[in-house]
C-alpha cells in the first residue's frame, strides 16, 4: 500500500506550489511522495528548477496526461483531478489544488478513525452560497435524481432538498464539499474512483448543475450507496490582515481546520514566523 500526494499544476499558482513543497518537506516533516500532474508544460523554467532541486532529496514524480490519453485537451480544467486520481500510482491518495498551503502535516488524516473506517476524508465548503434561481434549484434536483433516483441511507441532510423539494438557507448548503484537499483510499474504492472519473469525463454536462468537480466525489459514493467522511467544520473565508497573511492577489483566504488545528488554506501565505493557531484561530 502506497500513500502519496497528487497535485495538478497551474502556472498562475506555481509560487504557492513551490512554497508549499518547501513547507511540507522542511517545516512539517512530511515524507510522502508527490505526483505533480500537467497536461502540457504549465510551470515556468524558474519554478521547474526549484522543484528539480527538491527532487534531489525527495520523491517527486512528474506526470503528464498527454502520455495517457489522446484526448488530453478534454481534461484541462477542474476535471484533471479525477483523471489524476484514476491514473495515480498511489493506493491512498491526497489530492490537493495547486494553490494550497498546509499548516500541519497532512499525513495526520491517515490516522483518523473515520478515514480508516470509510477510506475517505472530505472538507466542507464555505457555507454562504445560495441558489441563483428557482430554475437552478430545479435543474440540480433533476440532475441528481437521475444519478441517484432514491435517497440513500448516507445521503447528507445538507442536500436533502434534492428529494424534499424545499431549500432552507439555515438547514441546506448549496455548495457542500470543498475539493481543494481530499483523501480517498483507492484500494477500498476502485469502483467509486471509476464513477468519479466518468462524472468528470462528462464535465460539459455535470458542471452545468454543480460548481466544478467538488460535489462529484461524494456523489459518486452515494451512487454506490457507501458512506464517506466529511469534516464537521465548514471552510471560513477570512478577511486578510496583511501583517499576518500575504495573499496572491486576493482579499480573503478560504481556510479549513482539522479539529482545532489549522489544516490548509487556499490562495494565501500565512506568516510562518508565527504559530498558525495564533494567526487563524476562531
φ/ψ of residue 8, rounded to 5: -70, 140
Strand partners, 253: 238
Asked if pLDDT for residue 244 goes beyond 50, the answer is no
| CA–CA gap between residue 172 and residue 197 (Å, rounded) | 27
CB 174 within 8 A of CB 131: yes
Residues sharing a CB contact under 8 Å with residue 273, sequence separation 6 or more, in sequence order: none
Asked if pLDDT for residue 149 goes beyond 80, the answer is yes
Domains contained in the chain, CATH given = 3-128+177-235 (3.90.550.10), 236-282 (no CATH)
Asked if pLDDT for residue 67 goes beyond 90, the answer is yes
H/E run at residue 206: helix 203-206
H/E run at residue 260: none
- Confidence at residue 274, expressed as pLDDT on a 0 to 100 scale: 45
CB 80 within 8 A of CB 38: no
Asked if pLDDT for residue 183 goes beyond 50, the answer is yes
Amino acid at each position: 500500500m502506497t500513500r502519496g500526494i497528487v497535485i495538478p499544476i497551474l502556472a498562475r499558482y506555481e509560487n504557492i506550489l513551490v512554497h508549499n513543497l518547501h513547507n511540507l518537506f522542511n517545516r512539517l516533516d512530511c515524507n510522502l511522495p508527490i505526483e505533480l500532474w500537467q497536461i502540457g508544460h504549465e510551470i515556468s523554467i524558474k519554478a521547474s528548477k526549484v522543484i528539480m532541486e527538491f527532487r534531489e532529496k525527495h520523491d517527486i514524480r512528474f506526470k503528464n496526461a498527454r502520455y495517457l490519453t489522446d484526448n488530453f485537451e478534454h481534461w484541462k480544467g477542474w476535471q484533471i483531478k479525477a483523471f489524476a486520481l484514476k491514473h495515480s500510482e498511489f493506493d491512498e491518495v491526497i489530492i490537493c489544488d495547486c494553490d494550497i498551503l498546509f499548516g500541519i502535516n497532512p499525513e495526520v488524516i491517515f490516522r483518523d478513525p473515520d478515514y480508516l473506517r470509510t477510506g475517505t476524508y472530505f472538507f466542507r465548503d464555505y457555507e454562504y452560497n445560495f441558489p441563483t434561481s428557482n430554475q437552478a434549484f430545479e435543474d440540480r434536483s433533476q440532475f441528481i435524481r437521475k444519478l441517484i433516483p432514491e435517497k440513500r441511507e448516507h445521503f447528507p441532510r445538507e442536500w436533502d432538498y434534492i428529494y424534499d423539494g424545499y431549500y432552507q438557507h439555515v438547514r441546506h448548503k448549496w455548495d457542500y464539499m470543498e475539493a481543494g484537499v481530499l483523501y480517498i483510499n483507492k484500494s477500498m474504492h476502485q469502483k467509486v474512483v471509476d464513477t468519479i472519473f466518468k462524472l468528470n469525463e462528462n464535465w460539459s454536462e455535470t458542471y452545468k448543475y454543480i460548481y466544478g468537480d467538488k460535489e462529484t466525489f461524494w456523489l459518486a459514493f452515494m451512487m454506490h450507496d457507501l458512506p464517506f467522511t466529511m469534516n464537521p467544520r465548514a471552510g471560513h473565508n477570512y478577511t486578510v490582515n496583511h501583517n499576518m497573511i500575504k495573499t496572491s492577489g486576493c482579499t480573503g483566504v478560504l481556510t479549513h481546520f482539522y479539529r482545532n488545528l489549522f489544516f490548509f488554506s487556499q490562495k494565501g501565505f500565512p506568516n510562518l514566523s508565527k504559530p498558525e493557531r495564533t494567526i487563524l484561530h476562531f
